[in-house]
Amino acid sequence: MTVDIAAAAAAVGEALPDRPELLLVLGSGLSGLAERVEAAVEVPFEAVPGYPSVGVAGHAGRYVAGRIEGRPVLIQAGRFHAYEGHDMDVVVAPIRVAAALGVGTVILTNAAGGIARGLEPGCIMLIDDHINLQWRSALAGPLVGDEQRFPDMSEPYDRRLQALSMQVALELQMPLSRGTYAAVAGPSFETPAEVRMLEFLGADAVGMSTVPEATVARALGLRVLAFSMISNRAGGMGGDDLDHAEVLEIGERAGVGLEALIRGVVTRMEP
């Protein structure tokens, strides 16, 4: 299935009060920020032509457009994953739509399994590089619009935005590690042998999203910043299992920290 980007962008754009500077994609358990934007306008994915209707939790997702500390942002709560059976061009359609709306910066968030020592549930990791283990590229196929055919990926995540994030975290006295995110196809979690392999390859955290979006964003020339919220130790490395309530509580606390961090970055980033 292909999404008509111009039609989708027209439908979203029509509902927006002003041109957003930034797309913020909220991963699982991180939708709190969408509740706290000023002058919010909501666009459910169902209202966007070409977007599939049902996502991982049985609801597709929504856009919330508004302002964070005065700056016009487009928040995307929910995303399409390849493991749901979506074609890659559906997975990355929201990035292309955001670019068509004039967004210059993309902030991606996700929930991920911690591999590196010290990346425990509740930690936030600034993604400074990634490994694509989804066995396909979101860019494969006919060239789309003005995208580069062979985008440079020597610096997929914007160095200045990373530095600003570290600075904001320091000021908030919030621990923020940085590391490499490995994207796997999923949807099963990793076996212990796979986790050992990922560690050997240099991955600090593992998840099932973000890399296709970051790749297309780079092909479009957008600045990318990305964070993982560590929701669990990657398969077979967790020791004692946490109970579910504990996991939720950890997620909520980490979500609050990540929200403060993102607010700080959005307030101070260059346009």
The answer to the question of residue 232 lying near ligand HPA (CB under 6 A) is yes
Beta strand segments in 69-208, E: 71-77, 105-114, 124-133, 177-184, 205-207
The answer to the question of residue 208 lying near ligand HPA (CB under 6 A) is yes
CA 264 to CA 261: how far, in whole Å? 5
Residue 242 beta carbon to ligand HPA: minimum distance, rounded to whole angstroms: 12
- Contacts of residue 250, defined as CB under 8 A and 6 or more positions apart, other chains included, come to 121, 122, 231, 242
Measuring CA to CA, which residue among 60, 20, 66 is closest to residue 44?
Answer: 60
| From 11, 21, 42, 81, active-site residue | 81
Segment holding 64, helix H or strand E = strand 62-68
Residue 46 beta carbon to ligand HPA: minimum distance, rounded to whole angstroms: 25
Question: 219 vs 234, which CB is nearer to ligand HPA?
Answer: 234
| From 177, 209, 228, 231, active-site residue | 209
| Residue 40: active-site member | no
| From 10, 42, 83, 116, active-site residue | 83
CA 130 to CA 207: how far, in whole Å? 11
CA 89 to CA 91: how far, in whole Å? 5
Question: 26 vs 208, which CB is nearer to ligand HPA?
Answer: 208
| Residue 28: active-site member | yes
| Residue 183: active-site member | no
The answer to the question of residue 210 lying near ligand HPA (CB under 6 A) is no
The answer to the question of residue 189 lying near ligand HPA (CB under 6 A) is yes
Question: 37 vs 254, which CB is nearer to ligand HPA?
Answer: 254
| Beta-ladder partners of 66 | 73
CA 110 to CA 207: how far, in whole Å? 8
Residue 143 beta carbon to ligand HPA: minimum distance, rounded to whole angstroms: 30
Catalytic residue set: 28, 59, 81, 83-84, 111, 208-209, 232, 244
Residues that bind ligand HPA (CB under 6 A): 111-113, 189-190, 206-208, 231-232, 234-235
